[in-house]
Amino acid sequence: MRASGYCLCVLIVALSSAACAQQSAPTQLLPNAAQTDFLRRFENLQREAPDIQSAPVRSFNEDSAYFKMWSESGRIDQPLQAYSRVLVLLNPALTPNEIEEKINEYRLDVISAEPAIGLLTVNVSRLREARQLGSFPLDLDSGQSDVSTSIDELAKDPAFISVVPDTVLTPFQFKSSVVPSQNLQFTVSAGEVTDWGINDAKIGDAWAILRGQEFKEGIIDVGFANHEDLSVVSGLPQQALPVDSHGNHVAGIMCGQHNNKGIKGVLPNCTAVIATGSFILNTIDPIESRGTVRWHTLFSELVATVLDFIDNNPDVKNINLSLGYNWVPNFNIDPVDGQHSEIRDSIRNQGRIFLSILALAKTRDIAIMSAAGNDSSNLSNPTLAKWSSPFNWATLAMKGRDGWSNGLVVEAHDKNGKRAKFSNVGGDISAPGVDIYSATSGGTSSYGTMSGTSMASPYVAASLALLRKVRPELNLEQAIVCLVSSPGMTDSGTPKLDLMNAIRNCQQ
């Protein structure tokens, strides 16, 4: 079943950024001390749940996690974006006076700020009113929404590196796994399993040289649950964590305890430091779905979560983000298709914000792993990972700009070393991602099999942590370059994760 034209239109309206925005990755620096200090005045403003623009989506791909719900009801009202809320990433060269002038010039009401990267979330209602009163030119024939027109106006100004709507994200949109958790067949542990990926990535041989070292690894996901095989602490202690199998599955791959139960994770003696996207939209009735979390979050809240996580956990040097939009599985939209330039503009502009987050993380010696995405199952030419999520775009943009990135984009392969049919391409490295057995949220002793680049990404995140533990003389750049220099390749030419090769052959 093909997604209807209406579905495509709705998504593009929600996610589009200004067509006139800069088309190449800018040379992007973090804000100076004066700008950061100025923005702190907006940092602790009270955050309130905004009004949300929603629209019915009338068709879904049969592979979509939404499909069953849609086929039963014939309609799903999908939340799209917050009315009048826009994110603007400031040019780092702006002085405090210039920022104040821009806020006043465009009649922006500041909702919140992220001083560390120079980001403002603003309400553009007064700019829209000024347009209607004739204070700004208004193109009545453009066919754009008021918010889109405001975004276009702001994006023309070189004071702003990126301007994007504050879109709404749901678990189905943002999980990067092929098998949705409501379809998992839960099993109960009958002993401990070493899944095939451990052997494929040459991880087991490294355990003997660890000598009892302990690990604390970051995981930001859509939800978690208490489990016998996981040792976890909250990365954001005030945050209430929703329940979902996706987060447990990822955490089990990285940190499944070596305790004669369930599965052996990549890292013995590992504590998973966990968080989800902060959610303030808990008054909205979300899409009903058995076995999955019930929440919505805003893009601005996800950005805030990642930054808060970095600030609150200075000893965590690896963060896994197995998240992606999954355009093709969920909506039958190929973002590489020529007709979807608005989608690519959105990813590019959201990616510029995450490029600043990566730059901040780099100054703190932190690596961030992201899943390549699962858009390619039914495509003759696999889609490019950089259009699957803003994390991927940022990682690859930084690599192109600096020659290396502290992010890694992870593809998935199967037991035969072939690219998983769903896996996007253009990533940095490939790891096991088909029929991976790990912890779930069906109970404290439940386990199940999932597939996706979500499952591949934690293999790489944990392997990088292990490599740096046993080769402490390597800096972050050296360890990453070594890890992606594996001699083994998938059939699509991407290096396969080989931890022991990295341990033995890394050079300073």
pLDDT in tens, 364-386: 999 999 999 998 987 889 999 99
Return the pLDDT at 190.
67
Band of residue 62 on the pLDDT scale cut at 50, 70, 90: low
pLDDT of 1 higher than 50: no
Q: Which of 299, 47, 11, 361 is nearest to 174 (CA)?
A: 299
Q: Which residue has the higher pLDDT, 92 or 144?
A: 92
Which range is least confidently modeled, 76-80, 87-91, 356-360? 76-80
Give dist(CA 324, CA 5) in Å, integer: 22
Q: Are 188 and 242 in contact (CB under 8 A)?
A: no
Q: How deeply is 68 buried, as exposed, middle or buried, from its count of CB atoms within 10 A (0-12, 13-18, 19+)? A: middle
Report CA-CA distances (Å) from 87 to 64, 96, 303: 29, 18, 10
Which range is least confidently modeled, 168-177, 254-263, 362-371, 456-465? 168-177
Rounded average pLDDT over 91-109: 95
Q: Are 431 and 201 in contact (CB under 8 A)?
A: yes
Return the pLDDT at 43.
82
For the chain, what percent of residues have pLDDT higher than 70?
76
pLDDT of 330 higher than 70: no
**110 SS3 class:** strand
Band of residue 231 on the pLDDT scale cut at 50, 70, 90: very high
Give dist(CA 344, CA 338) in Å, integer: 10
pLDDT of 4 higher than 80: no
Angle between helix 341-363 and helix 299-312 axes, rounded to 10 deg = 10
Q: Which residue has the higher pLDDT, 155 or 181?
A: 155
> What is the CA angle 458-414-320, rounded to 5?
10
DSSP 331: H
Q: Which of 426, 307, 428, 300 is nearest to 356 (CA)?
A: 307
pTM of the predicted structure, to 2 decimals: 0.87
Q: Are 480 and 502 in contact (CB under 8 A)?
A: no
For the chain, what percent of residues have pLDDT higher than 90?
58
CB atoms within 10 A of CB 291: 16
Rounded average pLDDT over 275-299: 53
Query: What does the domain layout of the chain look like in residue ranges?
Result: 5-171
